[in-house]
Amino acid sequence: MVNKKNLKVMDLFAGCGGLSLGLEQAGFTPVFVNELNDHARATYIQNRVDKHEWLAEPGFHSSDVKGMVLDKKFLPALEKRFANDFGIAHGELDLLVGGPPCQGFSGIGHRRSYSVDKEQLPSNHLYQDMAAIIHRLRPRAFLFENVRGLLHSKWTADGRKGEIWTEILDTYRKIPGYSVAYSLVYAKDYGVPQNRPRVLMVGVRDDVGGSLTREGNPEDAVKRGYLPPGGALDPPDLIELLGDLVDSSYENGGATTHYPSAARTKRFRNSCAPR
């Protein structure tokens, strides 16, 4: 099964697997996936089953994160499967990641959500379930991802601005033995052709965090070395992003059946030749 030398990650609220894809490219191997939507979860598994065949087995994927927490047998049984199949003893899971559903905190969700207070929406409390799983499994590190609006959201219309984030941050800081920091990051600063601001909270277990920088603003995960600094790659503009789709020889009624040219970015524009 999985190479025991590879870094192992458990992905909660995984969708069809965008975050796992990036982690796989960084050297991680997914050993468990959770996603409520059946179609998204099936897509996640189908895209990986040739390389990570265990994900198709019932014991290595789940739909309901609350069921994972409320069923007192689930997480102990999962730890046994991790140990037997991957050699992952308690506390040896390298990374646990998750982005709990954010509709109640997003800009669009914010404008339509006060007909029902945020505190009444069950999906807005799933961060507690993620924290409970971290508390039980004790991964070496965890990553929590969500929308920028989470930093300013209120539980009720009369609540205090930012009270939800304060409560979430306190929940994760109360998990014993972890150093926690967060940053607001922008995808454009990492070479992505999209602004896409996201809150990233990182927790590193104290016994494995000695090599990380502990200086600067204690809330800033980038300054503390928990997240990589952006700016190394300039985001491509629309011509660079979509220019390889332009077929100069196209005629009305015809068809373009292949990419007319190679992908073009500022770094590779001079080296890419038409296919």
Task: Judge whether 231 lies within some domain.
Answer: no
> pLDDT digits over 167-221, tens only?
999 999 999 999 999 999 999 898 888 888 999 999 999 999 766 666 667 789 9
Nearest CA to 101 out of 48, 166, 34, 155 is that of: 34
Q: What angle do CA 243, 247, 252 make, to 5 degrees?
A: 135
In a shared domain, residues 54 and 91: yes
> pLDDT digits over 129-182, tens only?
999 999 999 999 999 999 998 998 888 788 889 888 999 999 999 999 999 999
By residue range, what is the domain housing residue 274? Answer: 236-275
CB-based burial label for 111 (10 Å; 0-12, 13-18, 19+): exposed
Choose, from 19, 31, 55, 102, the residue flagged as catalytic.
102
Q: Which helix (H) or strand (E) holds 238?
A: helix 238-242
CA separation for the pair 196, 187 (Å, rounded): 5
Task: Judge whether 1 lies within some domain.
Answer: no
Q: Is 102 a catalytic residue?
A: yes
In a shared domain, residues 48 and 125: yes
pTM above 0.95, yes or no: no
Task: Judge whether 105 lies within some domain.
Answer: yes
Nearest CA to 142 out of 154, 155, 133 is that of: 133
In a shared domain, residues 153 and 255: no
In a shared domain, residues 267 and 137: no
Query: Strand 197-205 and strand 178-186: pairing?
Result: antiparallel
Q: How many domains does the chain have?
A: 2
